[in-house]
Amino acid sequence: MKADKQKVSKLLKTARGQIDGILKMIEEDRYCVDISNQIMATQAILKRANMEVLTAHCKSCVAGAQTAQQKDEKIDEMIALLSKLIK
């Protein structure tokens, strides 16, 4: 993985902390909208972590592909990932 491991780890640990908080909110029967807001905040952090990983992948793995075949394979991987993201 070529992404900034420290940055991605920090984002994921933050998301994990938020998930723990959401579980506690559920146990405490907190207001549904408050729980939903925390879920969306966690999703946003996970999206940022994913963007860090994918950006690094494009800048290193895709751009660094040596042959036309390797480049095509890397581009096809990215297209598959993007299609999952926009569903």
Per-residue model confidence as pLDDT tens digits over 45-87 = 999 999 999 999 989 888 888 999 999 999 999 999 999 988 8
Is 3:56 a contact under the CB 8 Å cutoff?
A: yes
Whether residue 55 contacts residue 2, with contact meaning beta carbons closer than 8 Å, is answered with no
Best CA proximity match to 10, nearest among 59, 61, 62, 52:
52
All domains of the chain in start order, with CATH: 5-85 (1.20.58.1000)
pTM score, whole prediction: 0.84
Residue 29: burial class (beta carbons within 10 Å; 0-12, 13-18, 19+): exposed
Token pair, residue 63, equals: 């751009």
Burial of 64 (0-12, 13-18, 19+ CB in 10 A): exposed
d(CA 11, CA 4): 11
Task: Give the pLDDT band (50/70/90) at residue 2.
Answer: confident
